[in-house]
Amino acid sequence: MSKVSSGKAGELFEELIEVVATLRGEGGCPWDREQTRETLKPLMVEELYEALDAIDKKDEMRLREELGDMLLHIVFHAQIGREKNTFTVEDVLEYLIYKMKRRHPHVFGEVEAKNVEAVLLNWEKIKEEEREKTGMLSTLPRSLPALLRAQAMQERASRVGFDWNTPEEVEKKVKEEWEEFRKAWEDKDPERMKEEWGDLVFALVNLARHLGIQAEEALQGTNDRFTERFGFIEKEIKEQGRELSGVSLEEMDSLWEKAKEKFTLGKK
């Protein structure tokens, strides 16, 4: 692996800025020239999830590529900012450096923080000062995946002491929320069912957090296993020359058990 000096990194970054400016400039690429902040939004989300997928698969070379794609979006938005006379990439970097130094006074200042808990508490105090009139949860975008947002909210609240002490206490809350959901279900109240179901899932996310489980990652793992096992059922039925819609639930359930055994054994 080649070692890149800070000077070389700076040169490459400058070249990237010039490349994007050329693509957006007169005589540049028609596609790049017509992009706006709004049209880039779904592409940014896609690049982020591709990077996360590379991390999950421990694919370092693909991650290198995906991080480059994410960096391209940052430079692209900065170029649009330059064109609109709102901000430049230099402004982005300057504020980022200021913010990181301000939020790490235990490294760049004289504040002491002996452990991670102290660092996070101090971080939240500083961010609270920065937010002024906004709340500590309001900066979490609603567009985040719901499980991820729920866990992030709970972690922030925990930093200032608003939290259960043990997983067992959270377990009691889960049971309480389950009973409230069941009552709404029995009453056939769709609005309450929706609300109580959300409360139940939120409590389960809290339990996962207390047990050191990332809720979003855990559910994605379940989605992957379901896809794998259901794919096995589809393949088996197709090889028999039959349509999936004509297979009984009992037979599909039997194949499901075979899929569980096959893929569990395969991972040992």
Alpha-carbon distance 54 to 212, whole Å?
22
How far is it, in rounded angstroms, from Cα 18 to Cα 215? 41
**Separation of alpha carbons 182 and 188, rounded Å:** 10
List of long-range contacts for 131-137, beta carbons under 8 Å, 24+ apart? 136/160
pLDDT at 176: 97
Whether 6-102 shares its CATH topology with 146-213 is answered: yes
Close Cβ partners of 153 (under 8 Å, ≥ 6 residues apart): 137, 140
pLDDT at 268: 39
Q: What is the amino acid identity at position 150? A: A
pLDDT digits over 158-168, tens only? 988 899 999 99
Q: Hey, where are the domains in the chain?
A: 6-102, 110-136, 146-213, 216-266
CA distance from start to end of the chain: 33
Helix (H, G, I), strand (E, B) or coil at 237: helix
Quick one: how far is CA 155 from the chain centroid? 14
pTM for this prediction? 0.63
Contacts of 170 (CB under 8 A, 6+ apart): 164, 203, 206, 207, 210
What φ, ψ does residue 54 adopt, rounded to 5°?
Answer: -65, -40
* Cβ neighbours for 200, distance < 8 A, ≥ 6 positions apart: 174, 177, 178, 180, 181
* H or E stretch covering 21: helix 6-24
CATH of 146-213, picked from 1.10.287.1080, 1.10.600.10, 3.60.20.10, 3.40.50.2300, is 1.10.287.1080
> 35-82, pLDDT tens digit by residue?
999 999 989 989 998 998 899 889 999 999 999 999 999 999 999 999
CATH topology for 6-102? Helix Hairpins (1.10.287)
Q: What is the pLDDT along the chain (268 residues), one digit of tens a residue?
A: 455 556 899 999 999 999 999 999 999 999 999 999 999 998 998 999 899 889 988 999 999 999 999 999 999 999 999 999 999 999 999 999 998 888 888 888 777 777 777 777 776 677 666 665 567 788 888 888 899 999 999 998 998 889 999 999 999 999 999 999 999 999 999 999 999 999 999 999 999 999 999 999 899 889 999 999 999 999 999 999 999 889 999 999 999 999 998 887 545 3
Q: Which two tokens stand for residue 229?
A: 């096992």
What gap in Å lies between CA 133 and CA 141, rounded to an integer?
17
Question: How many CB atoms sit inside 10 A of residue 199's CB?
Answer: 17
